[in-house]
Every structure is written in C-alpha cells, then in structure tokens.
Amino acid sequence: MNRAPFSDIDEVTVAPKLNVREVRGKLTPDAPLAPLVWFKAGGAADWLFEPADLKDLTHFLTQLHGRVPVMALGLGSNLIVRDGGVPGIVIRLGKPFAQVEKLDDTTLRCGGGASGILVASTARDNGIAGLEFLRGIPGTVGGFVRMNGGAYGREVADILVDCDVVLADGSSLNLPAADLEYTYRHSALPPGATVVSARFRGTPGDPAAIGAEMDRIAAAREESQPLRSKTGGSTFKNPDGKKAWQLVDAAGCRGLSIGGAQVSEKHTNFLINTGTATSADIEGLGEEVRRRVSESQGVDLQWEIQRVGRP
C-alpha cells in the first residue's frame, strides 16, 4: 500500500501521541500554502493531506479522533493564510473529488473539489439552467457550499439540495440545504467539516442560451475585476443596501497600499499582491480600509475573505 511520501515507514506521527497508519494519499509535513492560494502569500500548514479517495479521507480522520484542527482548502481564491501558517491538518481535495455527473433532467451531483466552471459547463451541456452564476465564482463546490457563494444575483442557497460532509473525527453526515441555515456568505456548516459532494438543482433550459449567459458573466468579470493579479476575490461583504466597492472608493482608498499589498485601481473591493506582499500586509491593508470607511461613512465593513492561521 502506497503511503507517499512516507513509503519507507509504518507510521506517521501527526501530533504528539497521535499516529496515522496506512495513508494512501499524499501527506506532507510543513507544507507551503502560498503556492496554493491566489494571493501567493502566507505560511505553511503543519500537515497537508491530499486524500486518494473518500475512504482514504475518512480512514485518515478517524485515526485523529477529532483531536487535531482540520481545515479544508479549495482553490484558495477567497483566503488569506496568515504568515505563521495553519496549525493541524489542511485537507485538499484533488481529482478524485472533482467529478460532476447528471442525476436527472435538472440535478447534478458534484464532487467537493469540482470547480465552478466545470459545474456550470456540465449544467450547460445537459440543458440545466440556473447554475450559470457559478461560472463567475473562482472556487470549488466545497467552498461554495460553506460560504453560500454567489454572484450576479444568485447564490448557492438557491440551488443546493443537500451535501455530504466528513467531520474532523472522520464521521459522515448528509445535510439538507435547510440545515445549513444560509445567510449572506455564511452557513452553519460545522467547523472542521469537509464538503465531499453536493447536489445542485436547476431548471430545464436551452444549452445555447445557458452558454450565452455564461459568456456574458465571463466577459463582465474580465472587464470589471483584476483577474490577472494576485488577488483573493471580493474582500468585503456588501452591507444592506450598499456596495462595498463604492464605500471603499468614497473613503479615498482606491490604490491605497501597505507594503506590497494594494487596493485595486480597477475594482476597489479587491486587494492585490503587487509581488512582495506578506499576508500581514494584505490583512493590515484590509483593516486600514475598514477603519477609513468606518470613520468617513459610519459603516462597519465585514470581511468576506476568510483569514486563517497564526499571525
């Protein structure tokens, strides 16, 4: 049995008094996370586990008995990994979890590691409308489900039937959409849970019309967002009745910088790494933007980007 990259030993010590045996996926200690996130900044994970399949994931986590912190990582598009790194285990779902299949005329089953583009394209090819907005979210199904991802007037709460998750102790749950208690960019998904699959339901549609809507969304993103930069997507949630980018712009923050981090000139709700930014630069810039918006307009912006790890 392959236990890469530890094929020459029988046991891998993950934390004091905790041992993991017979790992078939890839288990890497002190794994740099900067290459795996869009900002290209931040520290390492104590351990990065890329499971071979669902059985491998549940077997691995069962051996930890819920005693080690667990965090799932998708495409890293909506994430600041702090410079001190992430304690415990980071789970990254690869190709074995990236499948999308049609269940019926309006429903897809999607692996937790499947990208938004793949889900939207599969829906288009099968004449399922209502999932086009996923084309505009740079992430994976697991992240969409956790964050109630949304764009262009739609969100995951509109299409999710249910999801399958693996908890930090290796146990499995099927959660109907109602159990996630969705609000704007938030869910009640248990901490440490990894979304391994989800069912999305749309409506019957014409593939040509669906494709045209996906093209419109792609063009709108290209025109308005700094897609060629090292960024993390939308930084702040839109307050009720307001647009975060307008508040940031009105506070005079367009182009504002700290170290190698800068507020995008193209879209002021995006922070970018100009090339040398640390995660402390990026997070510090976000906090400075929040301070200026609060002082100038009396609005307390809330982070949409997730910030994890040690300072």
Residues acting as catalytic residues: 185, 234, 304
The answer to whether the CB of 203 falls within 8 A of the CB of 237 is: no
CB under 8 A, 24+ apart: contacts of 243-250: 243/269, 244/269, 244/301, 245/269, 247/293, 247/297, 247/299, 247/301, 248/289, 248/293, 248/301, 250/293, 250/296, 250/297
CA distance 85 to 162: 32
CA distance 179 to 175: 6
Phi/psi of residue 17, each to 5°? 70, 10
Give how far the C-alpha of residue 6 lies from the chain's centroid of Cα atoms, to the nearest Å. Answer: 28
Burial label for 39, CB within 10 Å (0-12, 13-18, 19+), is: buried
Burial label for 9, CB within 10 Å (0-12, 13-18, 19+), is: exposed
CA distance 229 to 77: 12
Burial letters 141-154, b for 16+ CB under 10 A, else e? bbbbbbbbbbbbeb
